[in-house]
Amino acid sequence: MSEPILKVNNLSKRYRLGAAEKGYKTFREAVVEGITAPIKNWGKLRRLTNFQNGNEEEDVLWALKDVSFEVAEGEVLGIIGRNGAGKSTILKILSRITEPSAGLVEMHGRVSSLLEVGTGFHPELTGRENIFLNGAILGMRKREIERKFDEIVAFSEIEKFLDTPVKRYSSGMYVRLAFAVAAHLEPEILLIDEVLAVGDIAFQKKCLGKMGEVAHEGRTVLFISHNMGAIRSLCSRAIWISGGKLVKNGGVDEVIRGYEEQQLGNVDDLSCVLNRNPLQIENQSFYFSRVMISDTENNNTNLFKYDDRIVLVCDFNGDPGDSFSPEFRIYNETHQLIATGASAAFHSKYFDRKVRQVKIVIGPLPLTSGKYHISLSVMVNYDRRDTWENAVCFTISECQPFARSWNIESHTDGVCVIKHTFSELAN
C-alpha cells in the first residue's frame, strides 16, 4: 500500500456555546443588568477563544473527538452522518478554515475545498468578473482561470449573461455559474461538502457527472453527503461520524448499511404506536382508539422505501350498532391527497360490530421520497362515524425504482412513480 496522501490523527475540535441569556424580572434588575453587562459580556467574549485544559467546562461542545483516518491517493472517501455529527468540521479543519483543538493532519498536495458554491460572489459584479474573483478565491491563478474561461462559461450555460451583474441572475443561473467555476479546480485533494443540494435535477445530475469525472481522474476526493445514492456511486470507501466520533470506517456499502440500520433503529416507538387523544373522542359511540404502523414483518417502523408495503393495525372502541367499514387517505407534505382506500366502497367488505382490530395493508407503494401522513375514518351505514385526521405519519426514505438510473438520489419529483420504457422505432 502506498503512502497515504492524507493522514488524520486524533483530530479534535471544541467550540464554546454561547451561555443562555436570562430574562429580567423587574426594572431594577434590568438596570443593574445594563450596568454590569459590559463586564460580563467582555468575559463571555473572551472565553470564546480561551479554553481551560483539564477540567471540562459545561458549555464546551466537542464537535470532533479523536477522529483518525487515512486516505490513499486517488481514493474517493464518503463522509456520512446525521446533521451536526461533525462532518463539516472535519472538512473545515482539513481546508484550514479553522484550526483543530488537538490532533494532527498531514497532507501532501494542493488542497481545494468546496464547502459552498459561489463563495465570494459579489452581486454587483458581472458573471465574467465573478468567474475571476471566485476562481481566485478558490485558489486558482489568474492564468489558470483565463485558460479555462471558455470551458467554465460553456459548462455554466450562461454565455448570454456574462456581462450582467449576477444580482440580476436567477438563482439557477447563479448556482450554475458558481458550480462551473468550482468544477474546474484542479487540486490533488478536493474536499466537497453537500453542494449538490442546489439547482434543478438536471443540473444536479450534470454536477454529479462532473464529480464522477474528477473522481476517475485519479484525484483524491473527500465528499460529504446525505445522499446515499451519490455516496454509493462515487465513493469506494466511507466513514461514518456520529456525535463527533468516528463510528465506522470501511467499504462504502458496509458503512452505509450500518448507518441506515442505526437510523431505522432510531425510529421512535411512540410514532409507530399512536393512541387517540381522549379530547377527540368525547361523546363518541364508536371510534379509533389506537393505530400501529409497521412493515410486513411486524416490525414497528415508519420509514419505508419505494415499493414497500405498510401495515396498519387499527383498534376500535365502542359499539357501532351495525357492521362498519374503515377508510384511509394518504396525503403528502403539502396536504395533497395522494390516494384513498375504503373497505366497503372499494371492496364491499364490512366488518362485524364485534370486531375490535382491523389490519390494513397498503402497497406496494409507488411513492417518491418524502413525508406522508394518513387520515383514518370509519363508516357505519353510509355515515362517517369517526375521522382521525393525521393519525399516523410515514417517510419514504429511498426511492430508486429504476435499476439503471443515475443513482443521483432518491426520486423526489412528482407524487408517484410510473414505470415506463423507452425504445426506438425504425422508420
- Which residues are at the interface with another protein (CB under 8 A)? 2-5, 15, 42, 45-46, 48-49, 73-74, 92-111, 113, 115-116, 119-120, 122, 124-125, 129, 132-133, 136-142, 165, 186, 188, 213, 216-219
CA distance 65 to 68: 9
CA distance 227 to 222: 14
Q: How far is the CB of 61 from another protein (least distance, A)?
A: 12
Q: How far is the CB of 89 from another protein (least distance, A)?
A: 10
Q: How far is the CB of 222 from another protein (least distance, A)?
A: 14
Output 132 or 406, the one with its CB closest to another protein.
132
Single out the residue of 333, 245, 331, 319 nearest to residue 287, CA to CA.
319
Output 108 or 245, the one with its CB closest to another protein.
108
Q: Using the structure block, give the residue that is written with the C-alpha cell 415499493.
A: 307
CA distance 45 to 340: 57
261 within 8 A of 397, measured Cβ to Cβ:
no
Q: How far is the CB of 37 from another protein (least distance, A)?
A: 12
Which DSSP string corresponds to 305-368? ETT--EEEEEEEEE--SS-BEEEEEEEETT--EEEEEEHHHHH---B-TT--EEEEEE-S--BP
Q: How far is the CB of 214 from another protein (least distance, A)?
A: 9
Output 140 or 255, the one with its CB closest to another protein.
140
Output 222 or 365, the one with its CB closest to another protein.
222
Output 222 or 228, the one with its CB closest to another protein.
222
Q: At what angle do helices 142-156 and 127-137 cross, to 10 degrees?
A: 130
Q: How far is the CB of 35 from another protein (least distance, A)?
A: 16
Q: How far is the CB of 5 from another protein (least distance, A)?
A: 6
Output 102 or 273, the one with its CB closest to another protein.
102
Sign of CA dihedral 314, 315, 318, 322: positive
**φ/ψ of residue 396, rounded to 5:** -95, 110
Output 122 or 384, the one with its CB closest to another protein.
122
Pairing type for strands 310-318 and 325-332 reads unpaired
Sign of CA dihedral 6, 263, 114, 154: positive
